[in-house]
């Protein structure tokens, strides 16, 4: 074996050792990254109740630590809002129905009123003259009789609850444009304007 053969042999051995060293380093790096990206144990799964807007049913879905998009309403709040639209603004135009709904949401966000949609709508109870929305204590049946108007009320209630984009500038009160109740003269009550068949007011 001459010097050239020895040199070639040693060069090959050094190259093989170097490649082996790189393979070991690469394996360790991959292992470390794998430990970071794929933890040994995932968060414990639990179940939460979510309203399925397509089937209108309450269903159980898996829940981890990651945020889960949950609708802001339930079948109960949807029905309460739809009933209020139906009875308060059944003959009004689209904007008027949305505006009446907006007043309910504004009251929910106001500390002077209950903090849920149904509680706001049913505030005062069924005793005549004490309820905040007259249809609830007028002594008449609250069951909708106009199917088309009821379907429209449900549709608008769903839109309002999903979008929650107010059009009444924070109004918490309204009355039919054909009357002028005494409360409009209360201190701090400011008129916002007329939308559809109602005139809207808010507290300063």
Asked if 121 and 191 touch (Cβ cutoff 8 Å), the reply is no
Looking at residue 57, what is its pLDDT? Answer: 65
Picking from 51, 69, 87, the residue at the C-terminal end of a domain is 69
The C-alpha atoms of residue 58 and residue 52 are separated, in whole angstroms, by 6
Looking at residue 125, what is its pLDDT? Answer: 87
Query: Two tokens at 183?
Result: 């409360």
CATH number of the domain to which 164 belongs = 1.10.10.2520
Cβ-count burial of 51 within 10 angstroms (0-12 exposed, 13-18 middle, 19+ buried)? middle
Same domain, 33 and 47: no
Same domain, 60 and 84: no
Same domain, 180 and 125: yes
Looking at residue 85, what is its pLDDT? Answer: 97
Query: Two tokens at 76?
Result: 């109960």
Query: How large is the angle between the packed helices 94-108 and 147-163, nearest 10 degrees?
Result: 50
Same domain, 36 and 46: no
Same domain, 107 and 167: yes
Looking at residue 95, what is its pLDDT? Answer: 95
Same domain, 54 and 4: no
Looking at residue 204, what is its pLDDT? Answer: 81
Per residue in 118-159, pLDDT (tens digit) is 999 999 887 887 889 989 998 899 999 999 999 999 999 999
Same domain, 28 and 107: no
Same domain, 197 and 103: yes
pLDDT at 66 over 60: no
- Is residue 55 very low, low, confident or very high in pLDDT (cuts 50, 70, 90)? low
% of residues, the chain, pLDDT over 90: 50
Half-sphere exposure of 34 (CA within 13 A, CB side): 7
Q: Dihedrals φ, ψ of 98, to 5°?
A: -65, -40
Same domain, 178 and 154: yes
pLDDT at 68 over 60: no
Q: Domains in the chain: how many in total?
A: 3
Per residue in 82-112, pLDDT (tens digit) is 999 999 999 999 999 999 999 999 999 999 9
Residue range of the domain that includes 51: 42-69
């Amino acid at each position: 074996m001459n010097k050239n053969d020895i040199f070639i042999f040693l060069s090959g051995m050094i190259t093989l050792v170097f490649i082996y060293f790189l393979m070991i380093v690469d394996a360790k790096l991959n292992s470390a990254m794998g430990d970071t990206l794929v933890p040994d144990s995932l968060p414990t799964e639990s179940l939460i109740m979510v309203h399925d807007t397509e089937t209108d049913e309450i269903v159980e879905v898996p829940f981890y630590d990651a945020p889960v998009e949950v609708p802001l309403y339930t079948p109960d709040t949807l029905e309460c809002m739809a009933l209020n639209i139906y009875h308060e603004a059944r003959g009004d135009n689209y904007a008027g129905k949305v505006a009446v709904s907006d007043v309910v949401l504004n009251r929910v966000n106001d500390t002077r009123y209950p903090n849920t949609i149904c509680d706001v709508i049913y505030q005062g109870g069924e005793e005549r003259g004490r309820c905040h929305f007259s249809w609830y204590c007028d002594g008449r049946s609250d069951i909708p009789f106009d199917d088309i108007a009821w379907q429209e009320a449900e549709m608008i209630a769903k839109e309002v609850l999903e979008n929650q984009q107010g059009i009444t500038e924070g109004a918490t009160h309204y009355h039919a444009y054909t009357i002028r109740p005494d409360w409009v003269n209360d201190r701090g009550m400011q008129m916002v304007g007329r939308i559809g068949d109602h005139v809207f007011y808010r507290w300063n």
